[in-house]
Amino acid sequence: MSSEAKIHLDQVGKTYPGTPVPAVESLTLDVREGEILVLVGPSGCGKSTTLRLINRMIEPTSGRILLDGEDVTEANPDKLRRRIGYVIQQIGLFPHHTIAENIATVPKMLGWSKERTSERVEELMATVGLPPEEYRHRYPKELSGGQAQRVGVARALGADPDIMLMDEPFGAIDPITRDRLQNEFLRLQAQLHKTIVFVTHDIDEAIKMGDRIAILGERSQIRQIDTPERILAYPVDDFVDDFIGTGSTIKGLNFLKVSSLAASPYPTTTVDEAPQAAINRLQEAGAEWLVLLDGQGRPLRWLNEHHLSEDSGPLEERGEELGDMLNSDNSLFQALELMVQSASGCSVVVDGQGRFQGCVEMPAMSAAIRRAQREAQLHYEELEAMNS
């Protein structure tokens, strides 16, 4: 395993002189090629210190750091850092350099030719959504916070490093811009496949950004490391449970798809059917609501017995609105949201052509959650059995 890891920390520790307790205690951690590993934990747990041990901004006092299987614990730290992109919360753009010069920092140090550097700078500016012709000659003071952080990311990508270290990169940005930057960054990563270690104190950001999450306790001890869905489904101990907080089950619904549920059959009627036949079907099924479909099988309204029996105009103008509908790609989180808005207490699923497929009801939803929890638990039991 460890030889395949892009980054391998082997019992890495940091003890500051004059302190009896280590800041990071013997941490062993693999970061796989092309993944975003999020280090998350309460303040003071040593997650930033851990990140800074990887590019040796802080020198470890014990253990080894391997990149691509190569021991870099004793390598020249400046050369090491030029291979690793580094983004910090305060960004730290050079105010006396233009945007283009900032992005060219590492290529220039590596001795790239002028043409290659300026080509790379233009490419990166376009990638992060800052048109070169407009922004190339601007200075950092002329940028908004969000734009500055985009330049910070572009600068870290300057010499196309395989590895990026990001220390709360979106922490100082307003929530709306942060959300946009996170989405942009995930889109970018889908093309670039960098190996990324990302530090945050915000569990929601960790869930959103991480392929895997390491939840760190005191002295940077790993309490749980896994995919976000498995951590949400099965927090291994009270510490993790407390840290991910209330609503973790609901957050976990983000990772379950509507397609994973068996669509339950649901009584329907069509605009052409006599209301009395529909009422009979409703009573037969012992249900309260049915879905009114048009000629092509597309859902129109929610109807109950009362709506069907009253004699007031065409069926499609009676009953309750359906609102938004789900397709099989939507998450169960979206299903839940529509469910609580719906008149009948369940949300409607349609296929690609908008035809009715069934409804998502609460029992199916909780069954899916329990199934995910059971799978995660089994996974951990197997791990434990393997280790013992």
Partner 1 sequence: MEALSSWFSYVRDNFDFIMEATLAHVRIVLIVVVLATVFSVLLGVAIHRRPVARAIALSVAGIFLTIPSLALFALFIPLLGIGNPPAMLALFLYAILPILRNTVTGLDSVSPAIVESAKGMGMSSTQQLLRVRLPLAWPVIMAGVRISTLMTVGIAAIAVLVGGDGLGSFIQSGLTRLGLPNAENSVWTGVVFIVLLGLLLDSVLALAQRLTTSRGLRI
| CB of 113 vs partner 1, minimal distance in Å | 19
Amino acid at 40: V
CB closer to partner 1, 70 vs 317: 70
Neighbour-count burial for 206-217, b at 16+ CB within 10 Å, e otherwise: bbbbbebbbbbb
CB closer to partner 1, 141 vs 246: 141
| CB of 85 vs partner 1, minimal distance in Å | 9
224 near 217, Cβ under 8 Å?
no
Other Cβ atoms within 10 Å of 231 Cβ, number: 30
CB closer to partner 1, 155 vs 178: 155
| CB of 76 vs partner 1, minimal distance in Å | 9
Q: Which of 78, 73, 132 is nearest to 105 (CA)?
A: 78
CB closer to partner 1, 169 vs 252: 169
| CB of 155 vs partner 1, minimal distance in Å | 8
Does an H or E element contain 195, and which? strand 195-200
| CB of 154 vs partner 1, minimal distance in Å | 12
DSSP string, 16-84: -TT-SS-SEEEEEEEE-TT-EEEEE-STTSSHHHHHHHHTTSS--SEEEEEETTEE-TTS-HHHHHHTE
CB closer to partner 1, 169 vs 267: 169
What is the token pair recorded at 189?
Answer: 């990563």
CB closer to partner 1, 12 vs 159: 159
CB closer to partner 1, 31 vs 88: 88
In the complex, the residues that contact partner 1 under the rule CB under 8 A are 55, 57, 78-83, 86, 88, 90-98, 105-106, 109, 139-141, 152, 155-156, 158
Query: Which stretches of 216-274 are DSSP H helices?
Result: 228-233, 238-244, 248-252
Q: How far is CA 285 from CA 279, 289, 297, 300, in A?
A: 10, 10, 20, 20
Angle subtended at Cα 202 by Cα 196 and Cα 207, rounded to the nearest 5 degrees: 60
CB closer to partner 1, 140 vs 358: 140
CB closer to partner 1, 46 vs 140: 140
Here the contacts of 338-343 (C-beta below 8 Å, separation 24 or greater) are 339/365, 342/302, 343/289, 343/302, 343/319
Place of tokens 């068996």: 262
| CB of 78 vs partner 1, minimal distance in Å | 5
As a whole number of angstroms, the distance between CA 96 and CA 287 comes to 71
| CB of 125 vs partner 1, minimal distance in Å | 17
| CB of 366 vs partner 1, minimal distance in Å | 47
Q: Which residues contact 306 (CB under 8 A, 6 or more apart)?
A: none
| CB of 296 vs partner 1, minimal distance in Å | 59
Q: Which of 85, 21, 18 is nearest to 51 (CA)?
A: 85
CB closer to partner 1, 2 vs 76: 76
Q: Which of 349, 273, 275, 272 is nearest to 305 (CA)?
A: 275
Burial class (CB in 10 A: 0-12, 13-18, 19+), 34: middle
53 near 61, Cβ under 8 Å?
no
| CB of 237 vs partner 1, minimal distance in Å | 34
